[in-house]
Structure 1
Amino acid sequence: MNPTTLPIAAELMRAAGESCLEAGAIALELFRPGAATAARTWSKSGGSPVTEADIGVDTFLRIRLSELLPDAAWLSEETVDDAQRLSRRFVWVVDPIDGTRAFMQGSPDWAVCVALLDQGSPVLGIVHAPACGATYRALLGGGATLNGAAIRTSAAQSLTGARIAGPRPMLEALAQFESFQAVGRIPSLALRLTRIAEGTIDAGLISPDARDWDLAAADLVLSEAGGRLTDGEGRPVAYNRDVPVHGLLAASTESLALPLQAAVERLRDGRTQPA
């Protein structure tokens, strides 16, 4: 798909990017570096936390983004799902704060994530991490940037010695048959992917239960930077399905995709010896 299939693609990216920067500023008003947030907090059904910052950013972005592309449907972590999205060509996919627990605890590793799907595929992606001073952007076919500068994945060719992020149990299992450098916890899934895109880490694992809003924007940034996000079978991630929930996922540079997939298969099958 060519980026020209998007209506006024460059203008849409500019306007969506400005909206993300404003949304980040809203969240920063309640963020306290190294300390508990000033925001009111509560638990959603299922126990996951939410803050007034999540709701405020979500409301702000829904108004702004809907004005930019009125025909687009909406899918967000903090909004009741509307099945109309399944029949729409364009869908905004938003995580107002990816890494809410990090935000609540004063860690800078959280981000405002906005993606636009065209017939189920991301064509625009923005991951804005205001507390890190980092804004990642990508248009389909247009490359990926960090703060306006082009980015590419690392040149890593082997899992041996590669810098890999992911849940500790998965990394400990992987360490039984691969020798790599475990990266410290990155609470935002989107930032885990964009750091692969920028080349500061080489690969990442994502445990089951990630949602479209955790992934879609960063997936496009990663792919436009030369990387790949796949499911447990090595297939591209599918978005805007009836239930927007995913299983085990793996992200890496293009060169590491096949060896990482083989490692994921061993993890999934419970094998601890090389195949």
Structure 2
Amino acid sequence: MKLTVNDLFLLSQCAISAAYQAGRLIAEKSYHPITVNTKQGGGSLASQVVTEVDHLSQDIILQILLPTCERFDLALLSEERPDNRQRLEKDYFWCIDPLDGTLPFIESIPGYAVSIALVSRDGEAHLGVIYDPVEQTLYHAIKGHGAFCNSKPLKLKTIAPASDQKLTFITDRSFADFPLFDTVRAELNVIALDLGYAGSTLLLQGGAAMNACLVLEKPAACYFKFPKIQPGGGSVWDYAATACLFHEAGAIACDIAGNPLPLNGPDSTFMNHCGVVYASHLGLAERIINLYAQLKAN
């Protein structure tokens, strides 16, 4: 079933409502003790922890979105449910992370959000909704119809590089264990200086969704994750919503080779094999892509 523009707008409102309601629950639960468990996931702690709030948030989202699956013949992929692989058969599927950034949530620090996307079978995000329950900020995008922050058009802050301004790089905390961490940090500083900035700031923090959204809030920034052999490196539900948001905002969201993010891989939902680059402009993305190519060659 091919969706019309009106269908997409209706489904975006459903996703926004679901994100708001789940976000309110997450905000309320952030003031109370929570039960933390572990699950099979990637190689990092962030991919292995799960709480009762993840499941409660998912329940709220599914109450709203499951009826749309029947009406519009949609598949569904959500982090805390088994992948039934209908996403490979239906024309579209909901892609849900009910609590992206569970580890920051457990630690009571910002960096967590609700993330909901609608992805086509060929792996293109048509809707993206991100809700930050800490700042009560809603980002959403509809393919071909723009990106928005709290219902206002989202436009990138584009200013010329300044010699007194630092370029911001963002990645996950697990990157501190990268064997060439010190080399990469030095090279990021070189990139910043080459582009006309005073140097670089490297932030190791947060969940994937809020790390990406932080790029949109800064005049020049980049969120990246290098590929790795081990399963993990984020999953489809970590990147689908922000991929739509970035494309509609005129920013860059791609894999480490500069290709579109593979948001519906046949073998796994993990994306450790491809890495990600979210950048405020193409020149910055290309420098990160080239940096990884050089590291790999050496």
TM over 0.5: yes
Cα distance in 2 between the residues matched to 1:233 and 1:214: 19
Matching residue of 2:30: 31
CA drift of 1:7 comes to: 4.9
Matching residue of 1:266: 294
Q: Does 1:224 align with 2:248?
A: yes
Q: Does 1:162 align with 2:167?
A: yes
Runs of 5+ in structure 1 lacking a partner? 271-275
> Is 1:193–1:219's contact at 8 Å kept on the other side of the alignment?
no
CA RMSD of aligned residues (A): 2.4
Q: Which amino acid aligns with 2:78?
A: S
> Is 1:152–1:198's contact at 8 Å kept on the other side of the alignment?
no
Matching residue of 2:9: 10
Matching residue of 1:43: 38
Q: Which amino acid aligns with 2:53?
A: A
When structure 1 is superposed on structure 2, of 146-155 and 74-83 the one drifting more is: 146-155
When structure 1 is superposed on structure 2, of 220-229 and 175-184 the one drifting more is: 175-184
Q: Number of paired residues?
A: 264
* Correspondence 1:1-275 to 2 at 5 A: 5-32=4-31, 38-46=33-41, 48-70=48-70, 71-119=73-121, 120-155=123-158, 161-166=166-171, 167-168=175-176, 169=178, 172-179=182-189, 180=192, 181-199=200-218, 201-208=220-227, 209-242=233-266, 243-246=268-271, 247-255=274-282, 256-270=284-298
State the SS of the aligned residue for 1:39: coil
Cα distance in 2 between the residues matched to 1:138 and 1:8: 14
Distance 1:195-1:131 versus aligned 2 partners, 3 A rule: same
Distance 1:261-1:157 versus aligned 2 partners, 3 A rule: farther
CA drift of 1:21 comes to: 0.2
Cα distance in 1 between the residues matched to 2:138 and 2:182: 31
Question: Which stretches of structure 1, 4 residues or longer, exceed 6 Å deviation after superposition?
Answer: none
When structure 1 is superposed on structure 2, of 200-209 and 71-80 the one drifting more is: 200-209
State the SS of the aligned residue for 2:290: helix
When structure 1 is superposed on structure 2, of 207-216 and 167-176 the one drifting more is: 167-176
Runs of 5+ in structure 2 lacking a partner? 193-199, 228-232
